[in-house]
Structure 1
Amino acid sequence: MSDDDSEGEAIMSSSNGMIAVDILVEAGGWPQPSELARWLRDALDATIAEINLTSEAQPSELSLVFTDDTSIHALNRDWRNKDKPTNVLSFPAFDIAPGDTLPPLLGDIIIAYETVTREAALEEKPFEHHLTHLMVHGFLHLLGYDHETEQEAEEMEAIEVKILSRLSIPDPYVETGTFD
């Protein structure tokens, strides 16, 4: 991993080198990119292990943008017709289904600092736990998982809980329900 904390950018990859990630800290009060990269590597590694992505899978890459409520609000309004900030948005580069061969580019994940901070406080969760959950959630979307139907939501939530358990993070759905 190399990073330049002064410019808010880092490049890192999963431990097995399967997923390369370009990290950009665009806005907000985020921790240093090196710390974000460490949490992200843990999230990716646990996800890769839980859904059994093997080393035979094609290497792929994604970008993760850490931003603020103002930026994510505009994206949510323009791309999802929801005129409010949200915690995480995922923009898959390709339409894939869970278990498909990885494309060379997975897509983008955008996370908003103020919303993550506010939700973690309201739910009385450590910031790192909530952020890790959102990174896993966004990554699963890029891998073809969704929660548009009740069945999809139950499947995705169950996978998230298993992934987070690998990281000793409690079930985030015990008190919070689902994402909007």
Structure 2
Amino acid sequence: MLTETIFEDPRWEEADLEAWSERAARAALTHLGIAPEGYEIAVLGCDDDRIATLNADFRGKPRPTNVLSWPSEDLAAENPGEAPEPPPPPDSLDAHHLGDLALSYDVCRQEAAEGGREFEHHVTHLLVHGVLHLLGYDHIRDEDATLMEALETTILGNLGIADPYNRM
């Protein structure tokens, strides 16, 4: 399996985060031409309290958020709007760890409800978003945000999920 899911909040098990994570991560890597075999991603399903602590510890923002990502290495492109470097090929003996993701059930559930989106679709979007961060994509610079959002929309469309950025 590409993803290893750790459940700190049992609501994620009931929601099937394990299957959603695997599907989203495989879709993102495959779309980018990266064979998922030989890579791994850890996904933590937690609650608001835990993600607020992680957000404070790693980003200096002591509040809950929907998804956090910790890439194993910096693959970011130097120039705005360019694709990041691909991850190194996996070793024949060990899987190459791309990084870690954490999602808060509470924030994700609330955002899905407020946005009128299916919970599974919203979480899948956040998983694809997080995997792209692990692969060096970002949205700080406008050109990078445009590239990342276009990739997310295409990957989600391939999964039968509507464009989350449709602002009509």
Q: Compute the TM-score of the two structures, normalised by the length of structure 1.
A: 0.79
Does the residue aligned with 2:11 lie in a helix, a strand or coil?
Answer: coil
Q: Which residue of 2 aligns with 1:172?
A: 164
RMSD between aligned alpha carbons?
2.0
Do structure 1's residue 51 and structure 2's residue 37 form an aligned pair? Answer: no
CA–CA separation in structure 1 for the residues paired with 2:119 and 2:101: 18
Would the aligned equivalents of 2:42 and 2:100 in 1 still touch at CA under 8 Å? yes
Residue of 106, 113, 119 corresponding to 2:111: 119
Residue 143 of structure 1 and its aligned partner are, at CA, apart by 0.7
Do structure 1's residue 29 and structure 2's residue 8 form an aligned pair? Answer: no
Unaligned runs of 5+ in 2: 77-83, 91-95
Q: Which residue of 2 aligns with 1:5?
A: none
> Which runs of structure 1 show a deviation greater than 3 angstroms over 4 or more consecutive aligned residues?
none
Asked which structure has the greater RCO (Cα within 8 Å, sep 6+), the reply is 2
Would the aligned equivalents of 2:65 and 2:107 in 1 still touch at CA under 8 Å? yes
Do structure 1's residue 156 and structure 2's residue 148 form an aligned pair? Answer: yes
Q: Compute the TM-score of the two structures, normalised by the length of structure 2.
A: 0.84
Does the residue aligned with 2:145 lie in a helix, a strand or coil?
Answer: helix
Give the AA of the match of 1:21: T
Unaligned runs of 5+ in 1: 1-12, 14-19
Would the aligned equivalents of 1:91 and 1:108 in 2 still touch at CA under 8 Å? yes
Seen in structure 2, the aligned counterparts of structure 1 residues 175 and 69 have a Cα distance that, compared at 3 Å, is farther
Q: Which residue of 2 aligns with 1:88?
A: 67
Would the aligned equivalents of 2:17 and 2:45 in 1 still touch at CA under 8 Å? no
Residue 83 of structure 1 and its aligned partner are, at CA, apart by 2.3
